[in-house]
Structure 1
């Protein structure tokens, strides 16, 4: 009994000790003083609060805080030009924690009576410095702001370093305050010295031909130094894909006669790279892909990409061999070969294609000059007609030699995958002639525009227009292969309809005497879409949309309408979109579910 009593007493004592330690630990981490500032506008209050710092956590910190509070309030106000404040303190020691109210009348500010800013040296004739001086945050008559004055000094020195004034210094930097008169005089004299120039570019000549390197180089020896030009040069080299790393180092310690030599170090990319992917699209269903790239085959900068994709609807293989001409990025000759099986409406198609294309980039526009030879065999899908039960059977086969031209341009504001605003344009024209080896003569034109605009922070609109036409002799209409026809329907077209289910229709009779209507595509296309998106959380937005249009033969336009809603989750690689759409123009409207990932363009 005595032993039990002793154990109980010991346990009770231990519990009390633990409770006391827990309360003490909590007390050590709690605020011992809270304070409130009144009488100041938001910028002044925030600056004074920054000078005061966080609330004290111990009695010693509280004592130091109270002793230094007045001085810190004055310093916080003086930093923004207020030298005559009236400050009253009211401290409630009975509250837990203590409460301190600081009432402040900032008084009249000190204003700049004279501001002498000068740029001396070669930078005096540099337009970039003229632009900087025009946008200075302070001028005569303004309230003195010490932080902005220091920022001006920093911006001058920073701009000088970026533009090659490596000997620059602040020759005079002075702030004279006459607090009694509420006036100040500022002097800021920046001496740039000489502007350095680009010197010799030193590199391993086995890495790349001199002509190619010069084409990528946005500067020449003797040009005025600019850090932006170096960064652009490094970016251009990286974009070629030839190198895993690029390092450009200005050697200031070796500058001679105002020229700064540059050391260029290039780290080769892997000889080959392989990518394997698995994906799903509502239109083409499950798919597996493999990409083999050789980023640099030789010193001339040749490269190749081989892409294999398999899905039930659209298995394909494509090889592209790239040959740089006058510029490794902006002028490239592409040799192409492609094998593809596809389903267009109620038709199956086997395509074989070889071609050549020259791609030029100028001022943000991409121009393409192409010539392709297309052999295409097609016929109704094997499930459509009873006698079509042998895989690969085709009714028709034609060959086309198609010279063409295309131009595209994209402009965007904001994120690459979720732009705030932008416009994507694509235009293409192709032709074929019986006199030049094709089985039919035709002219095919196509255009697509996608626009994005935003209102306020959360409201976004996306519009899309597609149009196309094929011009050919009526007697040759049946010779137009499915890949050259136009179809509509699917997640990238009319979202209330099945993939490529809209197009010109023909009626055929099955062996049992039944009639069947087949979608074979149209020689005209006209589509439009308007979508409103609202971002209700940082990474989530809802959407409502309406799509309209048709793929038809000339003179047989029939408007098809679809409406729907969507839920988008924003990711670093684009929005994951879950969309539900209804084909409201049909007699028996159907609902379609679409899942996609990516940006509008």
Structure 2
């Protein structure tokens, strides 16, 4: 009995809810006509959604005219003609709102001024030069409020914490359709950066001072404060950084700053597995110690294994004058690589000082390279002491990993002397340029690449140059229609049966270029067509190799995943190669 009672009660409740929802959805429908798109959007925002109950419908009918008037006055139209009709014979009721906006009110006088210390502030002068309202323009209350908000917001960002709007008035003469707009901003005095309060035991205070883009006593700037916090975060020393100004504790207009630093994990280990067409399957392990001591030292140990290119690298970082912009790196490297038809084993110790200045990065280096390789039945080994200099620059617009425009430049030069620790005299130069541009139609994009290289050494010692100092071409980052490092100077080797075969041993010159057209057909996908050309050769022996191909790119937050097919059209028997990569152009 009780079960049947409760079942009937639940059924009645369900039917009641359904009837209420139907009734709520069918009380009134309205339509506004006669307005421009901007006017219609603002009026619709003032009217709001259609009423869902009879009480709301009654209120909506009474207030609809005033809401339309308010929506138009906000845009400067004070004399609209409004005709409202309601058809009650239909369910839901039908409301038609016919509107003629009329002539707008224009601004006869625009009086915007800044007084106080901000009157001499260039940022405020720039803001006043591009106000959203002007004399003769249509009065727009939304733009007026935005103008007021921008003054107050800029004041807070620039340290005018006592600022006030002294005068804020819009006077409209409806008969003449003229308006007077007055907005007077009084900034008061600008506050300055005070003392920095931090835990001295977290990091050597000299490093924090170097990262700070302002000095105590400088005018307050929220941008510089955020830049300071960002630079502390970029060091990798901390899991979190909080830089908090205390305006309420300011003395003599100097704002103290509390710097709270949350240390990163003492050690971190990353294990990865991946695949590259050039080096095939790859396993990697990276061990990092982001902060070894209070002077900002750190280390990274990277182990990678693939059948073609196993390697290990240890790098110890020592900040000098700046933890981010001036760093000494001590390096050790063990690597095995296949250069053409040569298996090479390298051991390297080096030191490099990297200095950043704006977008330019320069580095002075010294490395000792010991390399062993087998060629044509002979074993070779060589030792080099190579001082060098590199210079790089990256400029981009748009997303970091998918820029709409940009230019990447990289230049490197190294020297060796048989009088200073090298087995031979040499000069090695290399450069790489990548240019990206988007055509007027944003779906179309061009990417151009150019690689140049040269080694200058005695002809008598040509064959003694280590493979890693020669140049090779081919692979997913070079000539995509050719196998990894398969293009270079060739030697003939005679086999035991009297036949001969060609061995790729690399050239002392490099010239490789690429032009790629990309078309983005959705937010996440784009196609690509490309042509590659070039050679790794000895002086005056250039023989161009050409490759054509196409690809499909899937855009991700960490870069494009690229599936590319390319053919080596220069060969008598061209073949297709598949390349899979992830990353940005630079």
Q: Where on the TM-score scale, by shorter chain, does this alignment land: which range?
A: over 0.9
Q: Which residue does 2:37 correspond to in 1? A: 42
Matches of residues 96-495 of structure 1 in structure 2 within 5 Å? 96-380=91-375, 395-455=379-439, 456-495=441-480
Q: Deviations over 1:341-375 (max 9, x none)?
A: 01111110000000111100012101010111101
Of the structure 1 ranges 312-321 and 22-31, higher mean CA displacement relative to structure 2 is found in 22-31
Change (3 A) 1:28 1:492: farther
Q: Is 2:524 the counterpart of 1:539?
A: yes
How many Å separate the matches in 1 of 2:455 and 2:567?
29
How many Å separate the matches in 1 of 2:566 and 2:119?
63
How many Å separate the matches in 2 of 1:512 and 1:424?
50
Q: Deviations over 1:101-159 (max 9, x none)?
A: 32211111111111211111111111111111111111221111111111111111111
The Cα shift of 1:18 comes to 11
The Cα shift of 1:340 comes to 0.3
The Cα shift of 1:95 comes to 4.7
Q: Compute the RMSD of aligned alpha carbons.
A: 2.0
How many Å separate the matches in 1 of 2:367 and 2:14?
84
| Unpaired runs of at least 5, structure 1 | 1-12, 389-393
Aligned residues: 579
Q: Which residue does 2:562 correspond to in 1? A: 577
Q: Deviations over 1:391-434 (max 9, x none)?
A: xxx61111111111100011111111111111111011111111
Q: Deviations over 1:277-331 (max 9, x none)?
A: 1111011011111111111111211111111000110000001111111111111
Of the structure 1 ranges 20-29 and 143-152, higher mean CA displacement relative to structure 2 is found in 20-29
How many Å separate the matches in 2 of 1:497 and 1:277?
27
Change (3 A) 1:21 1:585: farther
Q: Is 2:497 the counterpart of 1:497?
A: no
Of 558, 579, 583, the residue aligned with 1:594 is: 579
How many Å separate the matches in 1 of 2:214 and 2:405?
32
The Cα shift of 1:62 comes to 3.1
How many Å separate the matches in 2 of 1:25 and 1:577?
55
Matches of residues 43-58 of structure 1 in structure 2 within 5 Å? 43-58=38-53
Change (3 A) 1:26 1:260: closer
How many Å separate the matches in 2 of 1:20 and 1:209?
72
How many Å separate the matches in 2 of 1:408 and 1:199?
37
CA contact 1:31–1:55 (8 Å) conserved in 2? no
The Cα shift of 1:186 comes to 1.4
Equivalent position SS for 1:436: coil
How many Å separate the matches in 2 of 1:333 and 1:128?
38
TM-score, normalisation: structure 2: 0.95
Change (3 A) 1:255 1:23: closer
How many Å separate the matches in 2 of 1:75 and 1:452?
49
